[in-house]
Amino acid sequence: EAGVTQFPSHSVIEKGQTVTLRCDPISGHDNLYWYRRVMGKEIKFLLHFVKESKQDESGMPNNRFLAERTGGTYSTLKVQPAELEDSGVYFCASSPWTGRDYNEQFFGPGTRLTVL
Amino acid sequence: AQSVSQHNHHVILSEAASLELGCNYSYGGTVNLFWYVQYPGQHLQLLLKYFSGDPLVKGIKGFEAEFIKSKFSFNLRKPSVQWSDTAEYFCAVNAGDNFNKFYFGSGTKLNVKP
């Protein structure tokens, strides 16, 4: 079974440009999460989808970030316009819906974003 | 807001040495506790988790962690490390107000010398 995949693995852009990150969850996983790690710091929660609905977007830094999950399958995270402080590693995770409080999250390899 | 502190940012050990990585969290209510590991070039993987019951939990590859509620701690241990344990280790918590939202520590890089 394929794991969570993310594209691209690396992205280098200039300040002011737009970047779109993609996440493909494990097939059948209703829950999809985005996290970000700024260099050397903690991995921070950005948002959580259940199918195509945003369940919790409390971690989104500002309105330059837009996450979508059309059709409840893959998700995109767009940063427009990118700023220097957006540099970091963006992780995606997915989990099945089991009806319990906790569902194990499976992480992708991350996308390293560098804004120059 | 909840937070997770990992005291050691970088640990260097020789093979066969014992390991203990510290983790403290701040949240007064019900929590689930986790340790994740990221081996070089690989995904974050779950090492072990604690929900309830026996506060000493055993995970994969000989790792264990002990939940001490009075100290808000969940330290990771391994009696004898191997070179293959070289990785970055993350402590994480999710809390009773939202079990889908993880709070991670800043990670500890472990370098095991052969």
Q: What is the largest CA-CA distance in chain B?
A: 44
Taking CB atoms and an 8 Å cutoff, what residues of chain A touch B101?
45, 48, 56, 58-59
What is the C-alpha to C-alpha distance for residues B92 and A91, in angstroms, rounded to an integer? 15
What is the C-alpha to C-alpha distance for residues B71 and B74, in angstroms, rounded to an integer? 9
pLDDT digits (tens, 9 = 90+) for A3-55: 999 999 999 999 999 999 999 999 999 999 999 999 889 999 999 999 999 99
pLDDT digits (tens, 9 = 90+) for A84-98: 999 999 999 999 876
Question: Both tokens of residue B77?
Answer: 């241990």
Q: How confident is the model at residue A99 (pLDDT cuts 50, 70, 90)?
A: low
Q: Which of A105, A106, A112 to mutate to test the interface with B (most CBs of B within 10 A)?
A: A105
Neighbours of B59 (CB within 10 A): 18
pLDDT exceeds 90 at position B100: no
Contact A54, A47 (CB under 8 A): yes
pLDDT exceeds 90 at position B96: no
What is the C-alpha to C-alpha distance for residues B54 and B79, in angstroms, rounded to an integer? 19
pLDDT digits (tens, 9 = 90+) for A65-78: 999 998 889 999 99
Closest among B51, B49, B85, B53 to B64, alpha carbons compared? B49
Mean pLDDT of B86-109: 90
State the smallest CA–CA distance between residue A102 and chain B in angstroms: 6
The answer to whether the CB atoms of A101 and B44 lie below 8 A apart is no
Q: How buried is B19 (Cβ within 10 angstroms: 0-12 exposed, 13-18 middle, 19+ buried)?
A: buried
What is the C-alpha to C-alpha distance for residues A37 and B44, in angstroms, rounded to an integer? 12
Q: Which of B43, B94, B103, B108 to mutate to test the interface with A (most CBs of A within 10 A)?
A: B43
What is the C-alpha to C-alpha distance for residues B104 and B107, in angstroms, rounded to an integer? 8
Contact B19, B108 (CB under 8 A): no
Window 76-105 of A: residues touching B by CB (8 A cutoff) are 91, 93, 95, 101-105
* pLDDT value, residue A42: 92
Taking CB atoms and an 8 Å cutoff, what residues of chain B touch A59?
101
What is the C-alpha to C-alpha distance for residues A18 and A1, in angstroms, rounded to an integer? 32
What is the C-alpha to C-alpha distance for residues B86 and B112, in angstroms, rounded to an integer? 5
Mean pLDDT of B109-113: 96
Distance (Å) of CA B38 to CA A21, A77, A83, B45, B108: 21, 23, 27, 6, 10
Neighbours of B10 (CB within 10 A): 10
